[in-house]
Amino acid sequence: MLNALAKNPKFTPRRGPVVLAILDGVGYGKYADGDAVALANTPVLDSLTVSCPHTQLKAHGTAVGMPSDADMGNSEVGHNAIGCGRVFFQGAKLVEESIASGKLFEGAAWKEAVSQVISNGSVLHFLGLFSDGNVHSNINHLKEMIRRADAAGVRKIRVHALLDGRDVPETSALLYIDPFEEFLDTFRNRGRDYRIASGGGRMKITMDRYNANWDMVRLGWEIHVHGNGEMFRSAHEAVETLRARTGAIDQDLPPFVISDDGKTPVGAVQDGDAVIYFNYRGDRSLEITAAFESGEDFARFDRGRMPKVFYAGMMEYDSDLHVPKKYLVSPPEITRTFGEYLCASGVKQLAISETQKFGHVTYFFNGNRSGKFSETLEDYREVPSDIVPFEQRPWMKAAEITDQIVEAVASGKYPMIRFNFPNGDMVGHTGDLDAVRVAMGAVDLCLGRIREAVKAAGGVLIVTADHGNADDMLEHDKKGNVKLDAEGRPCRKTSHSLNPVPCIIYDPEGKGEYKPELRTGLGISSIAATCLELLGYSAPEDYDPSVLEFR
């Protein structure tokens, strides 16, 4: 049980709430062309930047617990860092270290999976995101597990490849598939039966989150487990055919099944097999895990034949519910989060977003904790997201979220309010520059309403982000020139950026307690201490420093 926070002797809280606005995927672009944030009509954000204390915060790489500064940030690690006030090694780093040390292969889950398929003469299946984006997974981890499985004597492996095009270039699937087939050839030439068995775009199958669209998971189950779907002789043929037919980028490609005769899938999951889901990030791992692990009471869709398999995840995706039951690498142990300290101090809080980012302002913000710290001091509100392509409705649910925030600010019930506008990230991932400009315009309109509500209530508004995305919508070469495709068109970028994000303090009733120049050189983990200080508390000693310098 945490002790209550000490009061901040240098600051008396304002009469209104502290409101933390997380503009998901909104950073400061490096290039003028492709920066949809700068290109959009955002008079409110522009005005706040010019008139308020502001600084830039690092939101990628080691500042958020990733292996190196070449690694982009993401919403999971970003909200972890914002919510816990310091930096923890995250999934990519933990898995990398566990593989390098060999600890993963010494663990009980790995040994059980390998033992089961060897003793049964059955198949080891690997399912996960097929890229080196290092946000949900890394194909290099998959390759090392295959090497180790081969060394242990596993004769038959099937890979179920979820195509990315979201954390990596939008039509890069064959740049992973073709070298991977050559990699598998080195084992097949020695008599191993190692093959890609199925696949499809990550936004079409399997990787749903927050119960937004269980039909994605159902379709993935049919493809991966039962081998029911359109059949092709190879993943290369599938991607080329489906891309020509649909014009879709990788994340939206329809699913496919590999078959030698056009009738029989090469990799349907059978009794006695073992399945490893090699994504390490939790939000898009929980639903497919539930399909494998839930008993007869599973009611999300009809699973049909339910094979009796050993199932393990790369990591524990929910440390409260202990999901999955078996996993290869232990997740970071994040304790003493911002929200937990506020509960210990008797501060009532509201967290709100739409479905696409609801878990980010709750589960990830609270250090990968699925429940509340206090039923009486925490209110969580989820606005159901639309199930449509985000570029078709780029405003998403910003207005509905704003309605509730404006009401909550005026109510006086919540000294602390946090929310997430998903638009910059979710629409940014589509690669549609025009849609992102609309998305940013919608966010700005809503931000204006919230600013006025905060002003009327005498509160403080903090504007920040978890990582960049909308600020970097075109691929650039090392010289800063826009890359062109074979037809001379600019190459769209659908992944997160490595750019810094804003930290703006709108404090209309400020009395000069802190310097107008905010600290520089900090990461987004500094947001927690900043919020605590503006609430009138001193941050814990081991929290990363606030952006505020008191006089």
Q: Which two tokens stand for residue 80?
A: 């972890």
The answer to whether 331 touches 297, Cβ cutoff 8 Å, is: no
At 54, phi and psi to the nearest 5? -150, 160
Q: Which two tokens stand for residue 479?
A: 């010289």
Q: Which two tokens stand for residue 134?
A: 């290092």
Task: Kindly report whether the peptide bond that precedes residue 324 is cis, defined as omega within 30 degrees of 0.
Answer: yes
546 in active site: no
Which residues share a beta bridge with 474? 492
The rounded distance, in Å, linking the Cα atoms of 480 and 45 is: 26
Q: Mapping DSSP to helix (H, G, I), strand (E, B) and coil, where does residue 34 land?
A: coil
Write b or e for each residue in 374-387: b if 16 or more Cβ atoms lie within 10 A of its Cβ, otherwise e: beebbbebbbebee
Q: How many CB atoms lie within 10 A of CB 204?
A: 20
Q: Mapping DSSP to helix (H, G, I), strand (E, B) and coil, where does residue 504 land?
A: strand
Closest CA to 110 of 293, 292, 271, 312: 312
At 370, phi and psi to the nearest 5? -85, -25
Crossing angle for the helix pair 173-188 and 235-246, to the nearest 10 degrees = 160
**Alpha-carbon torsion 210, 213, 214, 216, what sign?**
negative
The rounded distance, in Å, linking the Cα atoms of 55 and 377 is: 31
The answer to whether 361 touches 418, Cβ cutoff 8 Å, is: yes
The answer to whether 176 touches 236, Cβ cutoff 8 Å, is: no
> Of 68, 75, 101, 137, which one is the catalytic site residue?
75
Greatest extent of the chain over all pairs of C-alpha atoms, in Å = 76
The rounded distance, in Å, linking the Cα atoms of 466 and 382 is: 19
The answer to whether 188 touches 157, Cβ cutoff 8 Å, is: no
Q: Which two tokens stand for residue 141?
A: 């981890």
Q: Show the beta-strand stretches assigned E in 193-272.
A: 193-201, 231-232, 256-258
**Alpha-carbon torsion 47, 53, 58, 59, what sign?**
negative
The answer to whether 277 touches 285, Cβ cutoff 8 Å, is: yes
Q: How many CB atoms lie within 10 A of CB 182?
A: 8
Positions marked catalytic: 75
